[in-house]
Amino acid sequence: MRSGENHRDHGWLVQASTDSEEVANYYNEWATDYNDTLASWNYRAPVETAHLLKQYVPTDRRILDAGCGTGLCGQALYDAGYRDIVGIDISSDALVIAEKTKVYHHVQTQNLQHVPFPFETDHFDALACVGVMTYVSEPIPVLREYCRLVSSGGYLVFTQRTDLFVSQDYHAAMAQLQDEGLWETISVSEPQPYLPNHEDCADRILVIYIVARVK
């Protein structure tokens, strides 16, 4: 974020910066009113992701909320019945708020563009990643890491904006991971509303939900 830029002017979101320091600073500044702002934009992706995950993953399994932010996805997972949830995020200020939700087993700071993450292989049964791949410049290494973290037969549910899904050629990325024997793509949704009350997104930038099963 440029020096002096007002973080409450959220046109920055559309730029989809992949500079980790910039992203961390932006979300640290936004953390205290993030939840209220997202509610005003009618942000439904965390709830939709939790509902989607529950179609495939029993509620007694261990879930990684990758890019958990202030805990909106963790809260949605908890409301869906999950109780063993770990949250990671680049924003330390957002994690303070996430921890206060009491829905996580624990939370810790992690730059998702720095792999590997500090977890053992097959440590989780499933992974949810909502509104986060926007800030990842090279999706394949991160998605490979997700596959390492989730045990065979487990599931990944993640989202990507329609504009970046095209520009970063996610169809090719997903096909490559399938060819490498890391996962099987289960479903790719039609574009859905993302931030319908955000003036720069509305019906111009939508969201796609991807489900994959780890091999």
Q: Global pTM?
A: 0.94
pLDDT of residue 59: 98
Which two three-digit tokens encode residue 107? Answer: 């939370």
- Token pair 């949810």 is at which residue? 128
Residues 6+ apart with CB under 8 A from 130: 45, 46, 49, 67, 72, 73, 158, 159
* pLDDT the model gives residue 8: 52
pLDDT of amino acid 14: 82
Sequence spans of domains, the chain: 16-214
CATH 3.40.50.150 for domain 16-214: yes
CB 14 within 8 A of CB 43: no
Q: Which pLDDT value is given to residue 51?
A: 98
What's residue 2's pLDDT?
A: 36
- Pair 124, 151: CB distance under 8 Å: yes
- pLDDT tens for the chain, 215 residues long, are 333 344 455 777 888 789 999 999 999 999 999 999 999 999 999 999 999 999 999 999 999 999 999 999 999 999 999 999 999 999 999 999 999 999 999 999 999 999 999 999 999 999 999 999 999 999 999 999 999 999 999 999 999 999 999 999 999 999 999 999 999 999 999 999 999 999 888 889 999 999 999 99
